[in-house]
Structure 1
Amino acid sequence: MDRKVIRWKLNELMAQKRIRNKDLATVLGISENSVYRLRRTDEMPRLSPDRLNGICEALVCQPGDLLSWEPDEPPNKNNKSDTPKSSRSDSDLSPNTPKDSGNTKAEAQKAA
């Protein structure tokens, strides 16, 4: 099943801010065709931190403004299988820690 839950919104943001492909290409130092491809994809493209920074500077936006999360279907709150289960108990999380038997120090010395 192909799940695309994170959407790339460069096209929407550029339209809102009335920025043309040519303008963004000039700022980023890339071709207009490259900007066109970045705009036309619905999936988050692989971007270097410098390229993402350049886009954010040109659009005066935060990286999160370029993304939206849209789940395929809302989670079913009544379905317990949606909740991850762990086979470990809390005691497994503390390695090498003896369990407290409730005995006092004096009782422990008597037992020894």
Structure 2
Amino acid sequence: MIKIKLSDLLGKHKMTQRALTMKTGIRPGTVSKLYHETTQRLEVDHLNEICKTLDCQPGDLLEYIPDEAPDSH
């Protein structure tokens, strides 16, 4: 699965979701879905704006966590 680490980055930068919305122009609902990791997709333009605003790389925002292997009983 892919973990979206926006909450960690905003905390590191002491920035609120609202402030990110104002600086990037991304809709508040979209920022909230990213923050709470409930989004189903990520627009490249949004990723670009977030990285530009938070001075980070896409890898700072996204993390791949391997799915657990199913039991082979």
Range class of TM-score, shorter chain:
0.7 to 0.9
Gaps of 5+ in 1: 75-112
| Residue identity in the other structure for 2:66 | P
Gaps of 5+ in 2: none
Q: How many residues align?
A: 69
Provide the TM-score with structure 2 as the length reference. Answer: 0.74
The answer on whether the counterparts of 2:18 and 2:28 sit within 8 Å (CA) in structure 1 is: yes
Match of residue 19, structure 1, among 1, 8, 15: 15
| Residue identity in the other structure for 1:65 | D
More helix by share: 2
Which protein, 1 or 2, shows the higher relative CO under an 8 Å CA cutoff with sep ≥ 6?
A: 2
What RMSD, in angstroms, separates the aligned Cα atoms of the two structures? 2.1
Provide the TM-score with structure 1 as the length reference. Answer: 0.52
> Which runs of structure 1 show a deviation greater than 3 angstroms over 4 or more consecutive aligned residues?
none
